[in-house]
Amino acid sequence: MLLETLQRYWGYDGFRPLQEQAMKCVLDGRDSLVIMPTGGGKSLCFQAPAMCLPGIAIVVSPLISLMKDQVDALKTCGITAEFINSSMSAEERLRVANEIRAERVKLLYVSPERLVQDKTIEFLKSLKISLFAIDEAHCVSEWGHDFRVEYRQLRVLRSSFPEVGIHAYTATATERVREDIVASLELRDPELLVGSFDRPNLIYKAERRNKGLGQVGEVLDRHKGESGIIYCTTRNDVDKLHQSLTEQGLKTLPYHAGLPDLERRRNQEAFIEERVDIIVATVAFGMGIDKSNVRFVLHYGMPKSLENYQQESGRAGRDGLEADCTLLYSGAEAARWRSTLDELPTDAAREAGIQSLEAMNRFCTGAVCRHRVLVNYFGQDLPAEQAESCGACDVCLGQLDLVPDALVLGQKILSSVVRQEQRFGADYTAQVLKGSKDQRILQNGHDKLSTYGLLANEPQKAIRDWVEQLVGQGFLKKEGEYNIVKVTPEGWALLKGSATPRLLQPAVTTKTKKQAAVIEDSWEGVDRPLFELLRDLRRAKADEHGVPAYIVFTDTALRDMARRRPTTLDGFRHVKGVGEKKLADFGEIFITCIAEYCREHTVAADVAQVDVPVKPSSSPKPARSLSESLDGASASAIGSFRFFREGKSVAEVAEIMNRAVSTVGGYLSEFIRHDQVTDPSPWVEPILAKQIEEAALEEGLDRLRPIFDRFAGAVSYEQIRPVIECLRIRMKGVSEP
């Protein structure tokens, strides 16, 4: 019944992880608390069973914009849904009430404030209620990051409707928050379903903000014509960045609490309806955004907690396609957030705030897999197949340039902290190590320390960054009002040589960056010109229906259309995300557009077999790096093998497959491992290959950077990799019996 409902209304032929269990809880009438990451399909967990049960489902939603988006999306799928909120006239509310009494509404969205009113409770008692769904349930808990007093009052539902199941849904909740939700809503023996907090389609990157607008421009260049959100920590930053981008000819709109309500609403609607691609906003923007095709989220400043970051960055890629999450941080945000902790009402709350801020700072400054840090924070681990590389963050993609001898550098910095008697801050420590002639250093006699000027040849800003990185990785800690740096137990271990930090190079290199394999996979087989044509058609149909474009069809559906190129209604029915209502409403116009495109460009229509990696619905497949085994290879990598067997060069294969040379270089590494190739001469000159092998035997095969440095940049990584792969295979063959 559930699968039939999913196919009929939403065009889905399978469940995402935990969806089926969550839906069965609703059908069985058992209370539940469901925690899924943003984009994990929480809404379907109550929407689908609501269509299978008699009566009307009541959904608690915190924002008017969120209600409207959800109801518009449901109506587009052929589902009778309504909302009641303060934006409606008395006549509109009366119309909805009459529709409900006539049993013509399956889902009703209301705010917590309205729901707990006596007159609302009495009205609902006259109806057949199938379920209560509490969306954004973390708002119930005072330990959550977005506590709302009105949500606490929802406990009235248990006493007023003792026989109706209550189901709470949220994207982020630590164990303490979960316990608070259960107690506050008086859930009875609830089923606790906690999904993976990992979002493998999100590509995380964190870097210190130094070039400011230039760094923002780098992100926007990668996403021309695509939807994105830029988060700032202050209203002033929003206004300045919006103005700067506008002066550069980019079309953006601002959003923060200081703008008039009407302007904020118009700007949000312009973004949702794709009349503007980029919104520059504070955290006031987002909870009500159910936009599925946000291709990037850029933080122009550090959030105050990983809960906030998980939810804000999670607004990207809700359609399951790849999306960038770039975080530009500076010490200013950490200091600003720390200053606000004094306003918290209790010591426990302040301590919790400090711990959250420190965890956020470690995420920014660390050189550990970003995906791992996030899921560990919420008490989970990455799957075993991602243990060595998630394939979707700057750390695992090798986009960070690390200091070659971080142990010695870390010991120098910590030694200076110790010799300064652990009584000074990070700036002061950096000045001592640089050899500054600052009057305070001379007065304290710290120019006589053995560590004074020990890093005189390094930029002071780089030294300051290294101190922060050591704090972020737990080797140093900050204490007191003046953020005095002190050595931690882990730091003493570092001084003894039994622990090693990972410190970033101060200079930004221009080397080609490895890209996540998920990007290639999600576009595999897509006819890009057709995709763009279908985007235009989607925009036109959305305008006609007065809804956001992604409600007509998601990017996932458009990409599938551009792979299959269906020209019949039966073929169109098999496109991902096409249910019966959308087939009836949009099928003819879209297949006509596709058929005309195929005729004009003489390309095959109605592609029966779509050669694209299939991801089973029962278990999410993580983004894989190109260095993994054939089991994780993309379809493009496999398709390249026959060309390499013919002896073609990387450049030739790149031209044939219309791929970047760096991407095809990754395919070559997979081919060498798969075919167990031991001779790199088809791709690297024999004399050079011999020199690379000699360097590798001296430096070791575990890291390519030392080998690269041996040649002072004269030999590229694309030349080094195939030689090393072949050498590893030869050495493995020798060592095996």
> What average pLDDT does the segment 80-109 reach?
92
Please tell me the number of Cα atoms within 13 Å of 261 on its side-chain side. 3
- Answer yes or no: is 429 within a domain: yes
Question: What is the number of domains present in the chain?
Answer: 5
In the listed set 351, 386, 421, which residue is the last one of a domain according to the structure? 386
- Answer yes or no: is 400 within a domain: no
* Residues 188 and 222 occupy one common structural domain: no
Q: What does the pLDDT read at residue 670?
A: 81
Residue, of 454 and 520, whose pLDDT is higher: 454
pLDDT grade for 147, boundaries at 50, 70 and 90:
low
Given a cut of 80, whether residue 403 has pLDDT beyond it is: yes
Given a cut of 90, whether residue 405 has pLDDT beyond it is: no
* Residues 284 and 212 occupy one common structural domain: yes
* Residues 417 and 545 occupy one common structural domain: no
Kindly list the distances between the CA atom of residue 672 and the CA atoms of 71, 627, 677, 687, in Å, as whole numbers in the listed order: 52, 11, 5, 20
* Residues 183 and 214 occupy one common structural domain: no
> What average pLDDT does the segment 390-408 reach?
87
* Residues 648 and 669 occupy one common structural domain: yes
628-652 residue pLDDT tens: 333 334 445 666 777 888 888 888 8
* Residues 355 and 491 occupy one common structural domain: no
199: Cβ contacts below 8 Å, ≥ 6 apart? 37, 38, 39, 314, 317
* Residues 709 and 665 occupy one common structural domain: yes
- Answer yes or no: is 18 within a domain: yes
In the listed set 329, 358, 386, which residue is the last one of a domain according to the structure? 386
* Residues 78 and 169 occupy one common structural domain: yes
In whole angstroms, give the CA distance from residue 598 to residue 604: 6
Per the CB < 8 A criterion, the answer to whether 334 and 357 are in contact is yes
| Residue recorded with tokens 């530009």 | 328
- Answer yes or no: is 505 within a domain: no
The enclosing domain of 431 has a CATH number of 1.10.10.10
Q: What does the pLDDT read at residue 554?
A: 87
> What average pLDDT does the segment 392-401 reach?
86
Q: What does the pLDDT read at residue 619?
A: 37
Per the CB < 8 A criterion, the answer to whether 417 and 477 are in contact is no
- Which of 208, 153, 212 lies closest to 184, judged by CA? 153
What residues make up the domain containing 460?
Answer: 406-495
Q: What phi, psi does 550 have (nearest 5°)?
A: -70, -15
- Answer yes or no: is 482 within a domain: yes
- Answer yes or no: is 413 within a domain: yes
In whole angstroms, give the CA distance from residue 156 to residue 170: 20
The enclosing domain of 76 has a CATH number of 3.40.50.300
Q: What does the pLDDT read at residue 608?
A: 63
> What average pLDDT does the segment 562-573 reach?
91
Q: What does the pLDDT read at residue 286?
A: 61
Given a cut of 60, whether residue 560 has pLDDT beyond it is: yes
338-384 residue pLDDT tens: 878 777 767 766 777 787 888 888 888 878 889 988 988 888 888 87
Q: What does the pLDDT read at residue 80?
A: 94
* Residues 30 and 146 occupy one common structural domain: yes
Q: What does the pLDDT read at residue 414?
A: 96
Residue, of 736 and 226, whose pLDDT is higher: 226
- Answer yes or no: is 375 within a domain: yes
Q: What does the pLDDT read at residue 657?
A: 77
* Residues 247 and 370 occupy one common structural domain: yes
594-619 residue pLDDT tens: 999 998 888 888 886 554 443 333 33
Percentage of the residues of the chain whose pLDDT score is greater than 90: 36
In the listed set 175, 194, 213, which residue is the last one of a domain according to the structure? 194
Residue, of 525 and 121, whose pLDDT is higher: 121
- Which of 209, 674, 692 lies closest to 683, judged by CA? 692
In whole angstroms, give the CA distance from residue 589 to residue 584: 10
- Answer yes or no: is 509 within a domain: no
DSSP run (H or E) holding 60: strand 56-60
Per the CB < 8 A criterion, the answer to whether 587 and 577 are in contact is no
**What pTM did the predictor assign?**
0.61
* Residues 39 and 160 occupy one common structural domain: yes
* Residues 36 and 183 occupy one common structural domain: yes
Residue 18 Ramachandran class (φ > 0 left, ψ -120 to 50 alpha, else beta):
left
